[in-house]
Amino acid sequence: MARSPKDVTGKELEVLEVLWGQGPSTIQQIVERVYPEGGTSKYATVQKLLERLEEARCVRRQRGARAHVFEAIVDRDALIGRELRSVAEKLCGGSVTPLLTHLVRTQRLSARERAELRALIDELDDQGGKRGAR
């Protein structure tokens, strides 16, 4: 049975970060970014991480004559959403409100971040009013 993207481990996330940042890459290119010290065992480790990500439908392999090229097929926002929903299910009975409230109260937010949150809330309020008017 294939894993869902919410099962991504820390090292798998590092591999996805490389693919999101530099685009389609060979195993060797990923090894150079994730394990700059290199080594045969690191190549095999990245190969296994990519196999697991492929099974989880997070990456796609393009088979080439010399080297296979991997690309991310799950985007960062989709993965963030799945991970946060999973945390909300586990810790908050499915509600995101306690999760968001905790993050906002315990993290130091810049003026820009607070403005972005206010704008998002205003946008959601506007959308809610439009839905209610139908």
Q: Is residue 97 part of a domain?
A: no
Residue 106 lies in a domain: no
The answer as to whether 30 is a domain residue is yes
Both tokens of 56, joined, read: 């989880």
The pLDDT tens digits of the residues spanning 49-82 come to 999 999 989 999 999 878 899 999 999 999 988 8
What total of structural domains would you count in the chain? 1
| 130 belongs to a structural domain | no
Q: What is the pTM of this model?
A: 0.72
CATH assignment of the domain containing 39:
1.10.10.10
Beta bridge partner(s), residue 61: 70
Packing angle of the helix pair 10-22, 76-92 (nearest 10 deg) = 150
Q: Classify residue 45: in a domain, yes or no.
A: yes
**Nearest CA among 14, 117, 23 for reference residue 73:** 23
Structural domain boundaries, residue 30: 5-72
Assigned domain for 18 exists: yes
